[in-house]
Structure 1
Amino acid sequence: MTMRRFSLLVAAAALLSVAACASSPSSTESGAPSASPAVSVSPAVSVSPAASVSPSAADSGPSAVPGGPAEPGLPIETPPDMTGKSGKPLEITVTGEVTAGVEPGCRLISDGRASYLLIGGDQTMARVGARVTVTGTLAQDLMSTCQQGTPLQVESVKPA
């Protein structure tokens, strides 16, 4: 019981000293008030609840703030279905000119709507500058250092 009383006494003293510091005004030796150590934080950005959103902004998906929640009422961008009806990866055929990626050894092909990163396949046929028809399966889960295009696991390459 004595230890409990001592703990309560210490807690009460700490609480009283914190309360006393919070309620007494700060002053210097001359009696003039000094700057308050309290910090006031105000929001850097204010949002009006009646703000209007243009159609192009509404189509952009989640909030522009990284890690921020999407605004209510705006559609959340969902990735396109990359699987066939059987649940297997979608096989696609792309015809175009093979271009070099921004990283060494990376090859890309575009169908005008999307760019695909060529993974595997006959590199002599799908060399940079060649116009080819490539057939393969999308491999979106594949990690790459190329930083461009949707990975396309190449199954065949033919001259276009």
Structure 2
Amino acid sequence: MRILPLCAAAVAVAALLAACGPTGGTAPLVSPSATSSPSASTSPSASGSPSTPATHPPIRKPPGRTQPPPAALESHQGTVTNGVEGGCLILNAADGKFELIGGDRTVLRANAKVVVHGYRTKGKMSHCMQGTMFQVVSAQPAS
């Protein structure tokens, strides 16, 4: 009778230990060119000594995670209002409506007249859905 619980515990421990490995229990990621290409085999170089192919996996950049600012930043002046959705701040400026992303929230608050510097963002999603998304680099009260 004690054998069954003991076997179940052993299987559970083995599964946990296998999942704790450096690759999470899966085969390591290797560049396809390092395993299947004829150039990946060891061959003598011009000096006569064998060369070893690189076996590092390719570096992957997460899609849509970061976007560098453009060379020229934009400036907009207007009044900040609360968006329809909670947590959203909208700048009503003479040249359009902008959803403010980031920035100093002590300056960017409802009914404040401000000047913001930053850039328009593309490829991002927001629950605010009001105006053009604008990444704030700096903000100060309007004079």
User: TM-score, normalised on structure 2?
Assistant: 0.48
- From the two aligned structures, give the one with the greater strand fraction: 2
Q: Which has the higher contact order (CA 8 A, sep 6+)?
A: 2
